[in-house]
Amino acid sequence: MARKGKVAVIGAGFYGSTTALRLAEYDIFDEVVLTDIRDGWAEGLALDMNQARAIEGFETRVTGKTTGADGEGYEVLAGAGVVVITAGLPRKPGMSRMDLIEVNAKIVRQVVENVAKHAPEAVLIIVSNPLDEMTALAAKVSGFPTARVLGQAGMLDTARFSFFVAEKLGVPVGSVKTLTLGSHGDTMVPVPSASSVDGKPLAEVLTETEIEPLVTRTRNGGGEVVALLKTGSAYYAPSAAAARMARAVAEDTGEIMPVCAWVDGEYGISGVYLGVEAEIGAGGVKRIVERDLTASELAGLREAAEAVRAKQADVASL
């Protein structure tokens, strides 16, 4: 099998390192680059991952690199086609995603400036929280076309929703299809009209009263994990989503995925980064996919857009 291209992951915490390993194990890239500001940390993890190659049977090379505040080490990104940015602090119990905004805005700004300098053709996948705001900030700082800057949220939220529905019904998770749009957080918009179990509309399988707590649990999905862990936040499901997005870009699959993308006219919403379905391939977002929403789903999406728009404007000034 032909391996080609380079993908990079910035930030080698649990999220970043798990994403890098998933990307390496796909065995479709020449090289996976992992960077971190802790001295030797990314190099140590890369060495460990490379030693798994003989066991798991993948040939993708993993390169670790320590980066500095003044841009040292970022030259390792040269030629990367996709860069996943996980840099930033994770949530602590009781913290909302928005509590992280100021500290993570500084980190993301600095990272994106360096990425844009060394990998000017890359597609950026942002996973730093608060997600929608950091994606908008990355687009502004990089100056990249909006199609090449997207955020990971919808796939994770949708996966959580699907899991909760499957658990409630005691059915295989593969038989459940769900969808969430809007923002990653309080104004998340679950789309029951686009959700089904074994091909049957969700509304025929569960009552509205049964669906509502699953929606609430999905909306608080990250917080539930944070509260249980006490330190750190979710990374197995989030990294799976980010890696799948990176793969769709690298292999130009044209898969339709719920992602945080630039919306300009779709659903009557303009000029904001928002969770929508998009066709993902080479160059990032090929197009936004509009589906027929119910009146209340559409109203929820427009409401989410306005809430996110106000916060994105605040972040731009940080």
Question: What would the pLDDT profile of 51-98 be if each residue is shown by its tens digit?
Answer: 999 999 999 999 999 999 899 999 999 999 999 999 988 777 887 767
Q: How far is CA 23 from CA 57, 82, 260, 283, in A?
A: 13, 11, 21, 18
Name the pTM for this structure.
0.96
Question: What would the pLDDT profile of 140-158 be if each residue is shown by its tens digit?
Answer: 999 999 999 999 999 999 9
CA distance 36 to 9: 9
> How do beta strands 82-85 and 6-10 pair?
parallel
Amino acid at 49: M
CA distance 115 to 199: 43
Q: What is the pLDDT of residue 65?
A: 98
Catalytic residue chosen out of the listed positions 6, 91, 184, 247? 184
Question: Helix, strand or coil for residue 81?
Answer: coil
Q: What is the pLDDT of residue 318?
A: 67
Q: What is the pLDDT of residue 42?
A: 98
pLDDT band at 13 (very low <50, low <70, confident <90, very high): very high
| Residue 184 annotated to the active site | yes
CA distance 136 to 315: 8
CA distance 311 to 181: 17
